[in-house]
Amino acid sequence: MDISKYIQEYDFYNYFEKIKKEFKQQVNIQKYLENNSEENFVKFSQEFWENTNISVNKLKEKYNVSKQIAFSDIIKAYPTDKYIKLLKMYYNNSPIENLISEFAIPYNRIEKIIVSIVIDSLENYCPKCFNDSFEIESDLEGRFIFKCQQCNKKVSKSDLLTIEQAKMEMERITEQKIRFEEKIEEIEKDLNNIKCPKCQEKLYLKKNNDTFSYEIKCDKCNYISNDIENTIKDFKEWKQRAAMMIAIKAKEQELIEKALEIKKEQDVLFTKENIITSLENSDTLDFLNHVLEMDNMVVWSELFKRIKACNRLEKMMLSKIIELAKESGEKSTYRFKDKEIIMYGYIPQEPIIYDLINKTKILVARQIIRKLMKQNFVLLSEEQNYIFVPEILINNLETINNLMVVKDINSSIRYLVFQRQSYTCMTCGETGRPLKIAYMTSDKNINNLNNLIALCDNCYDIMTKNQILIDGTITFEVDYLDNNNLKSFEFLTYYYPELKTDETIRKTLYDWENYFSLTDIIKALTITIDKIKRNKMDGTVNTLFSYTNAILKNNNEAGTHVNVYDSLKEQYNLEKWIEDI
């Protein structure tokens, strides 16, 4: 369609009749017409176009028109030939300067009296809703803008669709809708078989039919995903971690029961430690990335120097790990940009730490492995139950084993029993290091020789606590299944460091995080801490927790989130804490 021709032939008077009808239906206009003639509006419009610079206020006074009635509404409701001419010139892309000159009218008045033209026979269609009725506008550069009367989308002429394009687009969207609904149906089936990877609560689906997109959300925590495959992957990883933690706890129980077979309960001693997570591999990965730029001989020289500096227990553990990885033959390639390095892995059926304890008899396996990780020899994750070593260590296993060959020494020293032992470390078999006495039980009875053992100084440091031989290590009584630290505990102890060792507080906060939103907990703690600091309430632990708990419960019952003043947000740096969450 020729838009310019259409505008020149456009029936503006018919268009303005509709505007007049709407104008006269206004309450203030009806009141005016009760005491005044409609002819006043006609004369107002005519006189305006006779002198377009005339004072509008004077015109209103002359015809007794209220100030609340816009002059532009009168002009549109009672158009003149001159007004129609201006509109046709405007929509024929006449420069605005020509309009100002032709009609002696200021630009600001032109802006107020320009109207949109409705086109409903364009034979073009909106690219969003496929409607074929538009309001046409013109910008200051003379370009036509089409505003869809159905969805209000504004487009240029070139963006409108032909009837063929509209049909094709509608078919495409229809097919896309069908595929999207089929996909949503499959996703809903998948969601019935999984739970939130963070808090294990039910997930729900929120779909957007306009954009053919969806979000998977959890009401309890802040988990959000827009990819079902990633959500399934996250959940499977959680299940793997959960199963592994159950297996680790079972092995810990075995250690405890075994210790109780030979000791009294009060004499059993275990130390606490965290499991080794994949996050602890970052330094080793950085090292591997760095060595890709180095010659293999240089790399081996650096690693060999580090291995020689290891104590005997560390060498024994490293040797066993390399041996197991070599026998397994589980190869994996780590890629860094355009380069790669080959690693050998060992992935046992049972928890890897306890598999290594069983194979090496080294009870403090985690401590030893963490030292090996610090030296960049291995990658290990208890959650994913793997350990990997670089191929260069596999190729040099014999050289590493030669470092542990015990040199001949005086047989009287090697085999002489120190009350029952030769001067040999009971744990690692070392004979060339100073020995120390450790007690088997907590009574430290030096007269009971059955209660004494000899350890080398290296083993003594990590195998004893207060001179008593430990029976093994177990993890903290904290749920690691969600692989997250207690952020609320970190926040609280930032302001009250003296509470860090209180396991009861940790347990309480853990229970809260399983029931309330973590963001709400942080905000509720902020309110309570601030009141205590301003001496508005007693500063005891009981008061702190009871008041915070009341805030959380009240908001939970009301179905609202905890709110804090902006001043508190700034004072306690809440934006950073919540951003970290």
Per-residue b or e along 260-289, where b marks 16 or more CB atoms closer than 10 Å to that residue's CB: eeeeeeebbbbbeeebbeeebbeebeebbe
State the pLDDT at residue 138: 66
Per residue in 342-366, pLDDT (tens digit) is: 999 999 999 999 999 999 989 899 9
pTM, 2 dp: 0.53
Per residue in 378-392, pLDDT (tens digit) is: 999 998 999 999 999
Percent of the chain clearing pLDDT 70 (strictly above): 92
Per residue in 276-317, pLDDT (tens digit) is: 999 999 999 999 888 887 888 888 989 999 999 998 899 999
Rounded CA-CA distance 379/332 in Å is 12
Rounded CA-CA distance 401/387 in Å is 19
Please state, as a whole number, how many other Cβ atoms lie within 10 Å of the Cβ of residue 60.
Answer: 17
| Residue 436 β-bridge partners | 455
State the pLDDT at residue 514: 82
Rounded CA-CA distance 492/505 in Å is 10
State the pLDDT at residue 141: 60
Rounded CA-CA distance 159/146 in Å is 9
The tokens for 106 are: 């200021």
State the pLDDT at residue 480: 38
State the pLDDT at residue 317: 95
User: Is 269's pLDDT higher than 50?
Assistant: yes
User: Is 264's pLDDT higher than 90?
Assistant: no
State the pLDDT at residue 411: 42
Percent of the chain clearing pLDDT 90 (strictly above): 40
> What is the band of 231 on the pLDDT scale with cuts at 50, 70, 90?
very high
Mean pLDDT of the region 558-571? 89
